[in-house]
A and B are shown apart, each in its own frame.
Chain A
Amino acid sequence: MSAATATRSVLRTEARLFAREPGSLFWVMVSPTVLLVILGLIPSFQEASDDLGGRRVIDLYVPVAVLFALIMSGLQAMPPVLAGYRERGILRRMSTTPVRPGALLTAQLALHAAAALASALLVIAAGRLAFGVALPENLPGYALALLLAVAGGLALGGAVCAVSRTQKIATAVGSAVFFPTMFTAGVWVPVQAMPDTVQRIVQLTPFGAASQALDTAASGGWPGWAALTVTGVWTVVLTAASVRWFRWQ
């Protein structure tokens, strides 16, 4: 069949397989919303705070939970799948057919991007419905920052996969990178609540910058070029590293 038909059937098959992984589905699609709801149930987090410029803690945690979804998808869920496909010769098997094994990687990237975005929308909807968190005021700016952050998460996962020889190593490296990434995304302390010096350093990381961009867009501003550039540069560098070091077998 044509290349387009083959690509579609690879995507359809991978989507089916993705739906057969309850663990990944929970962590990527459900856990960020669960995190938001648990935090929202703490009464003091629903009270406006002068330290946060009159905002509530829960307001800050919506972008954090959004980033958490992207990190889960790109860094925790995807690398073991790709490394496993390589380790078990699935990519090699496919490279003996008229379809390039890149179709498998593309399908995985597309699925994890879609899952991350769906999970992010679920977080935003839950924040609005359960806790009255205002929807992003600058929608195009927010969408741009969100897409860039999704790309950054996938690029980071791709780089983890490229430097890891086996599925086990990919899982281990993914977890090692996971915790600092969660910190920079503000999962423990929202970036806006960090001390100035720490904030300046964190804003040079892909998710620290993305957090800032999402926050600005959520409150109606246009995300600063500095923040978008930081996330963008990281995405480009990590993508280049993945392409440079990825081994097909």
Chain B
Amino acid sequence: MTAIEVQGLHKAYGDRKVVDGVSFDVGEGEIFGILGPNGAGKTTTVECVAGLRTPDEGLVRVCGYDPVAQRAEVTRVLGVQLQESELQAKLTVREALDLYASFYERPADRQELAERLGLLPHLRTRFGKLSGGQKQRLFIALALIGNPRVVVLDELTTGLDPRARREAWSLVESVRAGGVTVLLVTHFMEEAQRLCDRIAVIDRGRVAALDTPDGLIGRSSTAKEISFAARTPLDPADLRALPGAAGVETREGRTVVHGTDETVDAFVSLLARRGVTAGQLRVSDATLDDAFLDLTGADLR
């Protein structure tokens, strides 16, 4: 069963093409990440899914419903946490939960939700007086209050401190454990790597890659990094000739070779053949960061 279906989505603001042919499917119960640099079209894509914008072209379905033509049906199955969206400053947490619960036929248990999100001590606090993390947790609560089948979380952990961020992550995992499909928009690599089953990397309005986090890393041209301090110099030409080697450089007196698993094997045999001892040999996996850089040429950090 497909929870979200996006096919050939296009959206332009004036002459500026923001989304230029994005397609992906999100399976039921999946945590699906949308990763991309600022201005890549992530939020616009998600706004089309949430029915906040009408696509210029393409098809969007949420649990089989069209977010524009079947808006009422979509709002009943989809919970949304939006970027840059606030509540009335003088509304208390309890009032916000009560108000939003009244919008749905079978709302979630407010008390339980507030407890799970650590909002119980703040029920009487007005929205304007909440900290960034507390506001974010309230938004998650409001996204979940209608017992949705799918939730969209846009930049969920932006502005949270590391501890609050980790708490938000376990929360997302527990939401999924409850059978809810999660569409997560993020620009944090660690978040995407830790939470997502699959990730669509969006760059300049297009899907640059779509895979599991491991798959994306493996796809990177530099999946492995071999670094060592050679006691006897090795000919750089030999290193460059290693199968799968993508590049050789010298960094702080150490030689660094970028390559694949195959490169690592060949490197070890090369050392043996030449009888060279490589001091402080380190082989490290590329991270999602590296893969991302490779795919988009953009640096997120």
Contact = CB atoms under 8 A, between A and B. Distances in A.
Q: Do the two chains bind?
A: yes
Contact of B103 (A17, A85, A98): A98
A197 interface: no
A96 B97 CA distance: 15
Contacts of B88: 13, 17, 85, 90
Contacts of A99: 103
B80 interface: yes
Most chain A beta-carbon neighbours within 10 Å: one of B75, B87, B88: B88
Given A88-B86, A89-B82, A95 B102 contact: no
Contacts of A16: 95
Contacts of B99: 9-10, 13
B61 to A, nearest CB: 17
Interface string A1-17: 10001100110010011
A96 B86 contact: no
Contacts of A168: none
B74 to A, nearest CB: 9
Interface string B78-105: 1010101111101100010011101111
A200 interface: no
22 contacts: A1-B102, A1-B105, A9-B99, A16-B95, A17-B88, A21-B90, A85-B88, A88-B86, A90-B85, A90-B87, A90-B88, A92-B52, A93-B82, A93-B142, A95-B52, A96-B50, A96-B82, A97-B103, A97-B104, A98-B72, A99-B103, A249-B52
Interface residues of A, number: 22
Interface of B: 50-52, 72, 75-76, 78, 80, 82, 84-88, 90-91, 95, 98-100, 102-105, 142, 146
Nearest to B76: A98
Contact of B146 (A9, A17, A92, A97): A97
Nearest to A8: B102
Nearest to A5: B102
Contact of A89 (B84, B100, B142): B84
Interface in A212-249: 249
A97 B100 contact: yes
Contacts of B90: 17, 20-21
A92 B103 contact: no
Most chain B beta-carbon neighbours within 10 Å: one of A16, A93, A95, A249: A93
A5 B98 CA distance: 12
Most chain A beta-carbon neighbours within 10 Å: one of B52, B84, B87, B103: B103
A88 B50 CA distance: 18
Contacts of A96: 50-52, 75, 78, 80, 82
A249 B51 CA distance: 14
Interface in A104-130: none
A6 B146 CA distance: 13
Contacts of B100: 97
A166 to B, nearest CB: 14
Contacts of A20: 90
A9 B102 contact: yes
Contacts of B146: 97-98
Contacts of B104: 1, 97-98
Contacts of A97: 75, 100, 103-104, 146
A16 B94 CA distance: 13
B91 A93 contact: no
A1 B91 contact: no
